[in-house]
A and B are shown apart, each in its own frame.
Chain A
Amino acid sequence: MGKQIEVAGWGHQMRVAADVERPETVRALESSCHGQGIARGLGRSYGDAAIAPERVWMMTRLNRMLSFRNGVLTAEAGTSLGDILRVFLPRGYTLPVTPGTQWVTLGGAVAADVHGKNHHTAGTFSRYVEEITLCTADGEMRRIGPGRDPDLFWATVGGMGLTGLILEVSLRLQAIETGYISVDYFRTRDLEETLNWFSVHDASYPFTVAWLDCLASGRSLGRAVLMGGRPTERAELSGRQPAFPMPHRTLRMPFSLPSGMLSRSVGVAFNAAYYGVHRPGAQQIEPWWKFFYPLDVVDDWHRLYGRRGFAQYQAVFPAEVGAQELAALLGRIQNARHPNFLGVLKRMGPSSPGMLSFPRAGLTLALDLPMQGEGTSRLFRELYAQTADLGGRAYLAKDSFLTPDLLQRMYPRLSEFRAVKKRVDPAGRWRSALALRLGLAGGS
C-alpha cells in the first residue's frame, strides 16, 4: 500500500506529492513493483533526482547485510554508508570512497557514482562495486557487473535510478589500521595559490580538499583553507586511544530558520571562523567522522537555510580550465550579490566508465546557494551556460536547473545511455522529476 506524501530533495526547494512505497521485504518490493516512478534512498540528492510525480520507492528499509567474504560486502541497497562504517570499522575495514555525508544509501551511492576527497587517487564509488542486483522494468531481478551485461551496469552506475531499482550491491571494502585521518592544514592567499597547492600536494596526500572563502574578493578571491589527509597508522596513536573510535550523538535542527536569517553576515562569520580556526601547517589526528563528515554533526542541517531551501552548484571543468576562468565564474556570483557560504574545490582524477558519471579529470567546484526566487534561477542559468562554454559539466545529484540541451552538451555519452535505457526500459517506467525535466524519462 502506498502513501500519499510530499517528498523533497535535500535542498528542499523542489517538492512533489507522490505515491510512496516503502517495501520492507523483498516480496513486498516485488509486489509493489508496477507503475512509473523512481527509487529513493536517504534523499541526500539536492534537487529532483529522487522525487517523482507518480511513485517513489523508498528503499531505506531494505537494509540487510547479506554476506561478507574476502573483503566484499553484499548488502541491500537501502543500507546506509554510516551503518556500514559502524559495523566494519571496528573490524578494520572502511569505505574505499565516501561522499561528504555518511547518510546516503548504497543504492544512492551507485546511482550517482559518488566521489570523495580521494577521487584523484581512488576514483569513484563504482570502481569498488563488483556486482549489483537490479530490478528492471520487466520485473526481472538481474545480477549485473562490469563483467556481466557491462552496458547495463555502466548505464546504472551514475544513471540516477533510471534503469531500475537497485536491490543489492556488492562492494569491496578497504582494510585500514585505524579510524583516524592525519590531516595537514594549509591556507592560501588567492586562487592561483590554491590551484598550485593541488598540483603540489595531490601526489602526497590520498585525501585533498579546499574550502573556499566565498566572501573574499579582489586579490584574495579564491583564498582557501586546504586539507591534505592520509590514513593514520596504528603506531601514531597513543596507547590509550581506541583504534576505531565512534561518534556520540548528533545535534538536531528542530525547525527551519526563517528565510534569509542565514544571511550574508552569518556567512561572513561562518567563513571567518572557519578560516581563523586552523593554524597553517599544523597536523592533527582527526577521527573519521570529523574529517569526512563535518556537516553530519547536525541532523537536518538543510533547515539552516529556511523554508525556501537552497540549491547547490557543482561542476567539474576540464584540466585546461585554470585560475583565470574560475575567477571569472566566482566573480560572477559575487557581482550578482547572491549570498553563498560554502565553497568546496578539489582536483579530480580520470573519469569512470559510467556513462553519466559526473567526475572527470579537472577541477570541481561546489557552492551552496540559498534560494532567493528568480534571482537564484537566473544565476544558475548563467553559471551553467558558462560551465558548458568552458567544457565543464554539472552534477545531476546536485542539480535543479539544467535543461535538456545543456545536458547534451555536458554529457557526451548521453546517446549510449539512451540506447541502454531504450533496451531495458522501452516504455519509460523509471522516471524522476529530474528525468522529466531533462528528457531522460524515455518511452514515447
Chain B
Amino acid sequence: MANGVLVLGATSTIARALSARWARDGVPLHLVGRDTPELERIAQDLRIRYGSDVSVLGCDIAAGDFPQATVTAMGQHAPLRGIVWAFGTMVAAAGAADAQSLRAGAWVNFGAAPPLIEALLPLVDRQGFIAFLSSVAGDRGRQSNYVYGAAKAALSVYGLGLRHRLRGAGPSVTVLKLGVVDTRMSWGMGVPGGAADPEAVAAEVQRAIGAGKAVAYVPRRWALVMAVIRHLPEPLFNLLRI
C-alpha cells in the first residue's frame, strides 16, 4: 500500500467524508484513532463501497508511548501521500469546565499535534500534503468557546509555521478553518444559517488541499463572517452573545 493518506482522528464525521472521497479516487487509507472497533466499521464501509485499500491503527494520544508507537507502526506505509489531522473536541466555556477537561481540550485540539506530526514528517512524500482541520473559532476569542478557540488558533499557527519551514522542500501544508459543520460536535447548537453538510465540506477541503492553499475557510462564506468578527471594535463585539 504505497502512497496512502493517513487520517488522524478518522472516526470524525468530516474525516469519514474525506476518507470516502479519497477511497473513491482509489487512494489507500490508514485510519488512526482511539476507537478501533469504530475505525474497523468505517474501514469495512470504505472497502465495500469503493473496493479500497484501508488499514486501521489504534492510537491513544493520552498513552505513555505516544507518539512513538504510532510512528513505528506507520513506518511500513511510507512514503505517505499525505496526513490529515482531524482530532478535536469541543470544550465547555471555561467557567463551566473542570481542570481535567481544560487540559484534555488543549491536548486533543492542539497539544498532541506537534509531537505526532513532527515525528511522522519523514514518512510523508515530498510532493505530499499535511492538512489540519482547524476552526474559525481560532480567529477571535469568544466567551462561548475560547479554550477550544485558543487551541485551534495554536493549531493554525503551528500549521502555517510548518508550511513556512517546508516551503519548496517538503509536503505542502494547508490549514482549514472550518465553520460550523453538521456533526456530533455541533449537534444541539443553534446556528444562524445552519450547519454545513459534512460531505460538501469534505469536497471543499479536498479541493483546497489539492490547490496547495495555505489557509481555506470552509464553507467559504465564513471568510467574510470572520473578517467582520475579527475587525469588530470591542464595544460592538461586547454586545454579541457569541
With A and B bound together, what is the CA distance between A1 and B189 in angstroms? 10
With A and B bound together, what is the CA distance between A173 and B184 in angstroms? 32
User: Is B35 within 8 A of A27, CB to CB?
Assistant: yes
Q: Mark A36-78, 1 if CB is under 8 A from B, else 0.
A: 0000000000000000000000000100111110000000100
With A and B bound together, what is the CA distance between A31 and B38 in angstroms? 14
| Count of interface residues, chain B, beta-carbon cutoff 8 Å | 15
Contacts of B183 in A (CB 8 A): 24
Q: Does any Cβ of A come within 8 Å of B45's Cβ?
A: yes
Q: Does any Cβ of B come within 8 Å of A34's Cβ?
A: no
With A and B bound together, what is the CA distance between A76 and B42 in angstroms? 11
Q: Does any Cβ of B come within 8 Å of A26's Cβ?
A: yes
Q: Does any Cβ of B come within 8 Å of A2's Cβ?
A: yes
Q: Which residue of B lies closest to A21 (CB)?
A: B187
Task: Using known A-B contacts A3-B187, A3-B188, A61-B13, determine if residue A26 contacts B48 with beta carbons closer than 8 Å.
Answer: no
Q: Does any Cβ of A come within 8 Å of B37's Cβ?
A: yes
**Which of chain B's residues 126-149 have a Cβ closer than 8 Å to chain A?**
none
User: Is B44 within 8 A of A26, CB to CB?
Assistant: no
With A and B bound together, what is the CA distance between A295 and B48 in angstroms? 29
Contacts of B220 in A (CB 8 A): none
**Minimum C-beta distance from B190 to chain A (A):** 9
Q: Which residue of B lies closest to A58 (CB)?
A: B187
A-B contact count (CB 8 A): 41
User: Is B41 within 8 A of A26, CB to CB?
Assistant: yes
User: Is B44 within 8 A of A64, CB to CB?
Assistant: yes
Q: Does any Cβ of A come within 8 Å of B172's Cβ?
A: no
With A and B bound together, what is the CA distance between A82 and B187 in angstroms? 25
Q: Which residue of B lies closest to A67 (CB)?
A: B44
User: Is B49 within 8 A of A87, CB to CB?
Assistant: yes
Contacts of B187 in A (CB 8 A): 1, 3, 22
User: Is A25 within 8 A of B44, CB to CB?
Assistant: no
With A and B bound together, what is the CA distance between A68 and B11 in angstroms? 22
With A and B bound together, what is the CA distance between A87 and B46 in angstroms? 11
With A and B bound together, what is the CA distance between A1 and B89 in angstroms? 14
Q: Does any Cβ of B come within 8 Å of A203's Cβ?
A: no
The list of the 10 closest CB pairs from A to B, nearest first, reads A64-B45, A3-B188, A65-B48, A1-B188, A64-B41, A24-B184, A65-B45, A25-B38, A66-B44, A87-B49
Please list 10 pairs of residues, one from A and one from B, whose beta carbons are closer than 8 Å in the complex, sorted by A's number. A1-B184, A22-B184, A24-B183, A24-B184, A25-B184, A26-B37, A61-B13, A65-B45, A66-B45, A76-B41
Can you name 10 extra interface pairs (CB under 8 A) apart from A65-B48, A65-B49? A1-B184, A2-B188, A3-B187, A22-B187, A23-B184, A25-B11, A64-B41, A64-B44, A64-B45, A65-B44
Which residues of B come within 8 Å of A, CB atoms?
Answer: 11, 13, 35, 37-38, 41-42, 44-45, 48-49, 183-184, 187-188
